[in-house]
Chain A
Amino acid sequence: SSELTQAPAVSEALGQTVRITCQGDSLRSYFATWYQQKPGQAPVLVMYGQNNRPSGIPDRFSGSSSGNTASLTITGAQAEDEADYYCSSRDSSSHNHLVFGGGTKLTVL
């Protein structure tokens, strides 16, 4: 099955731009999906498809992809954006299967 690799942690100053990346072979074929998870809560969908935000997600969140790497960018990070972020995609060996990255903990300084 496919694997998705994320940096364990990233930190950035309040109001700055932060990019969270996800690497994996499956991303050459399928879009990444991004979830935000705050402590004690269920994950929340923040980005899907080419660059689609669900209703209620601020427009400072954007998504992009190139080759085997997908990125979630937060332009002007806010304190409330501090959370764990997980990428996911279809498994390249079986498109009916789902794989998750290991997650990236975002700290907003």
Chain B
Amino acid sequence: QLQLQESGPGLVKASETLSLTCTVSGGSINNNNYYWGWIRQPPGKGLEWIGNIYYSGTTYYNPSLKSRVTISVDTSKNQFSLEVTSVTAADTAIYFCARHRIDQVVFPWGQGTLVTVSS
């Protein structure tokens, strides 16, 4: 059974870089049927797609975040990562990592991790 687990600091200072890692277990990231992606949810608000990455390294990003976001993959560790630069309070959210099918059906999801941006 495939599982994903987010890890990283829960508190980031404004203007700094948010960094999270997603560890995949129960299956390999080296799978040409899936992308691996990030989705966030500000407290009490809806879901926002951040972007995803193919095992080969090809990435796709939400245009509204593209200038500040980098997603990378480490197939040797079966992990993929997210960086968001120059964070502000608006980046405070629960960050979910998840597997995306080629048709963009997202399943399964990690449990999510809350990242708070402090001033």
Contact = CB atoms under 8 A, between A and B. Distances in A.
Interface in B37-89: 37, 39, 46-49, 52, 60, 62-64
A35 B63 CA distance: 23
A interface majority secondary structure = strand
Interface in A1-38: 1, 30-31, 33, 35
A61 interface: no
Nearest to B49: A98
A88 interface: yes
Interface residues of B, number: 23
A88 B106 CA distance: 9
Contacts of B107: 45, 54
**Which among B60, B62, B104 has the highest number of chain A CB atoms within 10 Å?**
B104
A44 B106 CA distance: 9
Contacts of B62: 1, 97
B60 A96 contact: yes
A86 B46 contact: yes
Contacts of A42: 96, 109-112
B105 interface: yes
A80 B101 CA distance: 27
A86 B112 contact: no
A101 B47 CA distance: 8
